[in-house]
Amino acid sequence: MAKRSQNTAFRSELARAAAVLALSSALGFTVNALSAHPVSIFAGDASGKPAGAADAPRIPRISIADLIAATKRNDLILVVDVRGEAEFAIGHIPGSLHAPIETILQGQQDVIGTLQAAEKSGAMIVTLCDSELCEKSDQAAEALSKLGYKNVRVLQGGYQAYFDAHAPIEEGVNR
Amino acid sequence: MCYAGYIKARDPAKFVEDIEHYKLLPLFLVRATAIVLPWNEIIVGLLLILGIWTRAAALLSLLLFIVFAGAVTSAIARKLNITCGCFGSETAARVGLQTLGIDAAGLILALIAFVTSRPAKSRKARWS
């Protein structure tokens, strides 16, 4: 009798847990649907933007293989990493400039100074973010193009693809 | 748990990236998880704080921490160089033994909450 009562109680807890899960999930979907920038589950591109959303012309890409080859040839390249500080510190392409998107959009002096020097020397500027799902590298590249920078590319696949290619990385934050 | 959920709910697009880094789920499930998981955390945390349906909330909390620990263990085993995604990008930590330790601590607390909370009364017991 006691065991039966225990089983009933546990089934009640399971039912409550299922109800909490269902209601909180429904809340999540509702908030997402009402959001100004909803995440689309099925339709749209890899970033989850809803289908039919206007796409600005994309900046040309450079593949990981082409970047590595260009680096080996000692071509003039400035890699601009727009990820957050903690992500940059965990690992980044050696010699890359850490410039979160806000520093470019707000015209932070030291960042713009480095970019202008690179442009003057004829270097290719390559922006990168986490992966293809992240739009910040495109946003940074578009901002730079609008500012008149000529040779701007976005790294295809982002840092994750670079890491997966077992290419050399650096850790820490360069000051 | 409430804070972790709130940080993730603020930027679901970033959370999509964080989950995708673990390379465990197809993209549509990654997005669905990014939409609902923060709210699961917020509601479960609130229930625990307010002492409402404590046992059920502790059970869900236990389940969540088991899932987190499983994902982190899988990432460590595959030597993925990724951020945890536990508290958004501002306090991003690399997936490793430290993040596994945090999940283990959460799991133990959830287990304690489950074991020490009062079970739900059956309808018959409630009215007797």
pLDDT tens digits, A78-110:
999 998 887 888 889 999 999 988 888 888 889
Q: In the structure encoding, which two tokens stand for residue B51, read together?
A: 């002492």
Chain centroid to CA B30: how far? 15
> Does pLDDT of B76 surpass 70?
yes
Biggest alpha carbon–alpha carbon distance for chain B? 58
With beta carbons less than 8 A apart as the criterion, state whether A145 and A59 touch. Answer: yes
What local confidence, expressed as pLDDT, does residue B121 receive? 59
Tell me which of A10 and B119 has the higher pLDDT.
A10
Alpha helices by DSSP H, A96-164: 101-105, 109-120, 136-146, 158-164
Give Cβ neighbours of residue A126 (< 8 Å, ≥ 6 apart).
A62, A67, A77, A78, A79, A80, A152, A153, A154, A155
Separation CA B65–CA B58 (nearest Å): 10
pTM for this structure? 0.72
Identify whether B125 is part of a domain: no
Identify whether B103 is part of a domain: yes
A61-164 CATH choice from 3.40.250.10, 1.10.10.60, 3.30.300.30, 3.30.420.10: 3.40.250.10
Domain ranges, residue B16: 2-120
DSSP per-residue codes, B53-97 = SHHHHHHHHHHHHHHHHHHHHHHHHTT---B--SSTTTT--BSSH
With beta carbons less than 8 A apart as the criterion, state whether A64 and A169 touch. Answer: no
Q: How confident is the model at residue B90 (pLDDT cuts 50, 70, 90)?
A: low
Cα radius of gyration rounded to whole Å, chain A: 23
What local confidence, expressed as pLDDT, does residue B33 receive? 93
Nearest Cα residue to A115 out of A98, A91, A138: A98
The mean pLDDT of B98-107, rounded to a whole number, is 87
With beta carbons less than 8 A apart as the criterion, state whether A72 and A64 touch. Answer: no
What local confidence, expressed as pLDDT, does residue A107 receive? 85
Separation CA B86–CA B102 (nearest Å): 10
pLDDT in tens, B18-72: 888 888 998 889 999 999 999 999 999 999 999 899 999 999 999 999 999 999 9
Ramachandran assignment for A148, one of left (phi > 0), alpha (psi -120 to 50 degrees), beta (any other) = left
> Does pLDDT of A52 surpass 50?
no
Specify the residue for token string 């546990």.
A10
> Does pLDDT of B83 surpass 50?
yes
As a whole-number percent, the residues of chain B with pLDDT over 90 amount to 34
Identify whether B102 is part of a domain: yes
Overall number of domains in chain B = 1
| Strand A77-81 to A97-98 pairing | parallel
What local confidence, expressed as pLDDT, does residue A51 receive? 45
Residues in chain A whose beta carbon is closer than 8 A to a beta carbon of chain B? 5-6, 8-10, 12-14, 16-17, 19-21, 23-25, 27-29, 31-32, 35, 37, 39-42, 46-48, 83-84, 86-87, 90-91, 130-131, 133-135, 160, 163, 169
Residue B42 contacts A where some CB pair is shorter than 8 Å: yes
Chain A partners within 8 Å of B22 (Cβ): none
Which of B12, B93, B119 shows the shortest C-beta gap to A9? B119
Tell me the helices (H) and strands (E) count for chain A, helix number first. 7, 5
φ, ψ of residue B94 in degrees (nearest 5): -70, 145
pLDDT in tens, A106-158: 888 899 999 999 999 999 999 999 887 788 899 999 999 998 998 999 999 99
> Does pLDDT of A46 surpass 50?
no
What local confidence, expressed as pLDDT, does residue A1 receive? 57
With beta carbons less than 8 A apart as the criterion, state whether B112 and B67 touch. Answer: no
Q: How confident is the model at residue B91 (pLDDT cuts 50, 70, 90)?
A: low
Give Cβ neighbours of residue B37 (< 8 Å, ≥ 6 apart).
A28, B5, B8, B15
Tell me which of B61 and B97 has the higher pLDDT.
B61
Global ipTM = 0.81
